[in-house]
Structure 1
Amino acid sequence: MSTLDGTVVAITGASSGIGEATARLLAGRGAAVVLAARRTDRIDTIAQEIRDAGGHALSCPVDVTRAEDLHRLVGTTVDGFGRLDVLVSNAGIAPISQVADLDTDGWTAMIDVNLRGVLNGIAAALPVFREQGRGHLVTTVSTAGLKITPTMAVYAATKNAVRTLLEGLRQESTDGVLRTTAISPGYVRTNLADSMPDATIRERIRDNMRESALPPEAVARAIAFAVEQPDDVEIGELSIRPTAQG
């Protein structure tokens, strides 16, 4: 029996990349998964493929900037599988640029998705975790917050805000109910560069991804490692990057 048999996991940003890989891996290890994203056709297809392979999966359209969407995700999960054990907050965008470019629309979008989206998930999931007496928040942050580089100041700021948020929440949750995990990937082969409006920056990031990026499945395995720990073990933070990444 897998350690994930019977575990119920909701995943945002599940239509591609890390989110999709995580849904497929956890379902393959026995978890019931609920895939959430804005691209309804993609999450419907992935959920059906998981079911066709013998797994348990549902899909739920979600825009993480909308608090009501996260409440609907949690409700769909509890209605469908009876509980929610883990919320993987993976949705994120990176319209990066130099601060002096004053891309205030990009700043707002990153704050809304990368930070507010995580807060919306916490607000929806935490009451369920408290009622159940257990729950786990796993959030995708970034090594961009560990090593600050030009063009990534605001993006890194949103990720570091989430890192700080999870640590504060962990310290407030000393009753053993809640576990928190911040997963910090380095370069991963995903569609993240698609959200970068500056063509020069976008191509530089894509070049880096082509040269040394990890497959999304590598990060999914790191998430699975954190989730599979017994309730009295918390993996607070885990960085995963290509060996060749500087």
Structure 2
Amino acid sequence: MAKWRKHPLPLDYPRHPERRTALVLGASSGIGRATAVALAEAGHPVAVGARRVDRLDEVVAHIREAGGEAEAFAVDVTDEKSIASAVTDVEAALGEVEVVVNSAGSLRMGRIWEMTPENFSAQVDVHLLAAHRVVAAVVPGMVARGRGDVVLIGSDTSRTARPRSGAYPAAKSAVDTMAFQLQSELEGTGVRATVVRPGPVATEMGTDFDEDTIVDVINDWVRFGHGRHGRMCTPAQLAHGVVAAVSLSRGAYVRELEIQPEAPIEP
């Protein structure tokens, strides 16, 4: 019987450094908050950023009470200067950013032709342009150091657009494309880019819709076959996916990770 030769890991990819500061944007609630907590549990110093600073204080307190390290920073992802300033402050407080997760976003439902151009473009701004602002602020430093992880939170609507979802599917589809282009451009730099694509998740997004909007949305989703079952993922399940991607040993990367809720187990 032939004996297979064991190949060692590539020597040009050393281990991750002991200390990997993580910056999580959109960390005041939902996937962002859960990701910040999960990264802290994994031993990362975590910088949490969002506009709602009062809610970030609660996240920081939660992490510290559990023995983790965290700091809060006011960040508006629609403002280039706000992001750049936050990155400077984060690195002064916690060290160079080794991991960045962009989970900031909002949701405005509606038919495309019924949305005003202002509302449509605002959604593109907060989902697509904001992701680029984050990349532009953080990735040059990562490339200079020869390591780092960039995680962009996308959506399964980029593959299957659901009706009445406004500009959200279009913006998230563009995030996918930008992430894949970024991955190609980062080949050979030691920096990794991953897009994490959630299916339905139980977050605050959509909880402010009026009853008529919810009824119209659900009816159209069922009509076009988007309602497989009523289960949703938890933010923590998405967070575990993010942690898995950035924890992968160097020399390999997760290109894309789609996480869907499993249907109830049938009796």
- TM-score, with normalisation over the residues of structure 1? 0.91
Question: What's the counterpart of residue 212 of structure 2?
Answer: 200
Maintained 8 Å contact 1:184/1:240: yes
- Cα distance in 1 for residues equivalent to 2:98 and 2:67: 21
1:41 Cα deviation (Å)?
A: 0.5
1:236 aligns with 2:258: no
1:52 Cα deviation (Å)?
A: 2.4
Question: What's the counterpart of residue 88 of structure 2?
Answer: 75
Q: 1:119 aligns with which of 132, 147, 167?
A: 132
- Cα distance in 1 for residues equivalent to 2:64 and 2:157: 35
Q: 1:52 aligns with which of 65, 72, 80?
A: 65
- Cα distance in 1 for residues equivalent to 2:25 and 2:214: 24
- Cα distance in 1 for residues equivalent to 2:127 and 2:233: 21
Q: Structure 1 counterpart of 2:231, which letter? A: S
Q: 1:217 aligns with which of 229, 233, 236?
A: 236
> For the structure 1 residues 87 and 204, does the alpha-carbon distance in structure 2 shift closer, same or farther, using more than 3 Å as the test?
farther
Maintained 8 Å contact 1:189/1:215: yes
Question: What's the counterpart of residue 88 of structure 1?
Answer: 101
Q: Structure 1 counterpart of 2:253, which letter? A: E
Q: Structure 2 counterpart of 1:175, which letter? A: G
Maintained 8 Å contact 2:77/2:104: yes
Question: What's the counterpart of residue 27 of structure 2?
Answer: 14
- Cα distance in 1 for residues equivalent to 2:33 and 2:18: 19
- Cα distance in 1 for residues equivalent to 2:92 and 2:214: 41
> For the structure 1 residues 130 and 115, does the alpha-carbon distance in structure 2 shift closer, same or farther, using more than 3 Å as the test?
same
Q: Which has the higher helix share?
A: 1
Q: 2:75 aligns with which of 46, 62, 73?
A: 62
Question: What's the counterpart of residue 12 of structure 2?
Answer: none
1:62 Cα deviation (Å)?
A: 0.7
> For the structure 1 residues 203 and 35, does the alpha-carbon distance in structure 2 shift closer, same or farther, using more than 3 Å as the test?
farther
Q: 1:171 aligns with which of 169, 180, 184?
A: 184
- Cα distance in 1 for residues equivalent to 2:115 and 2:106: 17
- Cα distance in 2 for residues equivalent to 1:33 and 1:77: 9
Flag the structure with larger Rg.
Answer: 2
- Cα distance in 2 for residues equivalent to 1:199 and 1:66: 33
1:58 Cα deviation (Å)?
A: 0.6
> For the structure 1 residues 176 and 231, does the alpha-carbon distance in structure 2 shift closer, same or farther, using more than 3 Å as the test?
farther
Q: Over residues 36-95 of structure 1, what are the superposed CA-to-partner deviations in whole Å (9 max), with x where a residue is unaligned?
A: 011001112211221222111011011100011111221122111221111101001111
Q: Which segment drifts farther, 27-36 or 43-52? A: 43-52
Question: What's the counterpart of residue 142 of structure 1?
Answer: 155
Maintained 8 Å contact 1:4/1:29: no
> For the structure 1 residues 49 and 204, does the alpha-carbon distance in structure 2 shift closer, same or farther, using more than 3 Å as the test?
farther
What are structure 2's unaligned runs of at least 5 residues? Answer: 1-15, 220-226
Q: Structure 1 counterpart of 2:73, which letter? A: C
Maintained 8 Å contact 1:5/1:31: no
> For the structure 1 residues 152 and 97, does the alpha-carbon distance in structure 2 shift closer, same or farther, using more than 3 Å as the test?
same
- Cα distance in 1 for residues equivalent to 2:216 and 2:198: 18
Q: Structure 2 counterpart of 1:156, which letter? A: P
In structure 2, the residue corresponding to 1:6 is in which secondary structure? coil
In structure 2, the residue corresponding to 1:63 is in which secondary structure? coil
CA RMSD of aligned residues (A): 2.2
Question: What's the counterpart of residue 222 of structure 2?
Answer: none
Question: What's the counterpart of residue 52 of structure 2?
Answer: 39
Q: Over residues 171-192 of structure 1, what are the superposed CA-to-partner deviations in whole Å (9 max), with x where a residue is unaligned?
A: 1122232211100101111011
Maintained 8 Å contact 1:193/1:206: no
Q: Structure 1 counterpart of 2:200, which letter? A: Y
- Cα distance in 2 for residues equivalent to 1:101 and 1:18: 29
1:183 aligns with 2:196: yes
